[in-house]
Amino acid sequence: MADRTADAGRRALGAAARRLMALAAAASLLVGCGVGLGGHDAKDDRVARGTAPPRDGFIGFFTPEAGSVVGTGMILSLRFNRTITDRAAVERRITVTARPAVTVAGHWFGSRRLDLRPADYWRPGSRVTLHLRLRGVRGAPNTYGGQSKDVTFTIGRDQRSTADAASHTLTVRRDGQLLRTLPMTAGAPDHTTYNGIMVISEKYARTRMNGRTVGFGGEYDIPDVPHAMRLTDSGTFVHGNYWSPPDVFGTDNVSHGCIGLRDVRDPGEAAGQDDPDDPDRVFGGRTPAGWFFDRSMVGDVITVTGSDDRTVAAGNGMGGWNLGWSAWRSGSALR
């Protein structure tokens, strides 16, 4: 009887855990503008398929993915499933090589995240490999690593954009040449946009943004935000905006902290609608937001200036470029 009762208790706990996981998965489909890491976060897929962390082990969920092509601002990031207390032992077994060669250093953000970057942005065309040699490495008492693999990706072209919240413009440059200046809107006075260097970490052709999930109450719930690209873990995006009046873009800041570009509700509606008399419509059949989305990739740098706010924290998304090289290296356990 005792065994049957224990088995029933275990089954009940398992069912409850599954329900909690389902609820968490459903909640993660909601993202917010200005705060809250959420939305279609696929980091769990960036572990070798078929690999599960042992009960007493740790693994690192890494970005970027193997085989990907990313922008010159990409920062490698490992997020561990367990607390790491022996950071030096773990960091010592994680190395990065590149062709052409460049020095790469790590920086810990807490006990579960290690980011790695060079002193300056990557050179376009570089081939970068993350070497994980964590199998058997002690990360904490009774906690050992289980990974041994290489992850190689490529650096694409060098695209950097500047979002000036004061002039309401997004200036896009590729390989040093001006591509276009787009009218934009940034955070309103009570929801200002962070200043500083940010990097695109995720792209979604369409996503939902719900203020109730991120501390803004019922201020907004937009199920189909187009052309959304994440800049921070706390929820700063650059995205299409079809709900604000057209004359807002280039003249006023009205968002909850995101960078908004003029768009339509159904991006397909913009196809073939170029208007030579309207500079906002000469984008090869795309809206300004669609044009920028098509030309952007994960790892591209967007620097915000002119906002009445502080500089984004180094650990908020790929904000690590806001630290100088000495400050960055001071966060290594191997210093």
Structure-token pair, residue 134: 């964590």
Active-site residue among 33, 107, 191, 258?
A: 258
Give CA–CA dist 320/322, Å, rounded.
5
- Catalytic status, residue 33: no
How much is the pLDDT for 8? 41
Looking at residue 310, the DSSP 8-state letter turns out to be P
Q: Give ∠ CA 298-303-306 in degrees, rounded to 5.
A: 150
Structure-token pair, residue 245: 């009046």
**Domains of the chain, earliest start first:** 44-156 (2.60.40.3710), 159-319 (2.40.440.10)
Active-site residue among 168, 227, 239, 256?
A: 239
Q: Are 170 and 198 in contact (CB under 8 A)?
A: no
How much is the pLDDT for 221? 76
User: Taking Cα atoms as reference points, which of 286, 68, 309, 106 lies closest to residue 192?
Assistant: 309
How much is the pLDDT for 335? 83
How much is the pLDDT for 277? 46
Give CA–CA dist 96/78, Å, rounded.
12
Q: What is the pLDDT of residues 130-143, one digit of tens each?
A: 999 999 999 999 99
Q: Where are the beta strands (DSSP E) in 103-176?
A: 104-108, 113-118, 127-133, 138-140, 143-145, 148-155, 159-164, 169-174
**Diameter over CA atoms, the chain:** 82
Q: Are 142 and 265 in contact (CB under 8 A)?
A: no
Structure-token pair, residue 287: 């809206």
Q: What is the pLDDT of residues 68-85, one digit of tens each?
A: 999 999 999 999 999 999
Q: Which residues of the chain, if any, have pLDDT below 70? A: 1-55, 211-220, 268-285
How much is the pLDDT for 46? 38
How much is the pLDDT for 303? 98
How much is the pLDDT for 72? 98
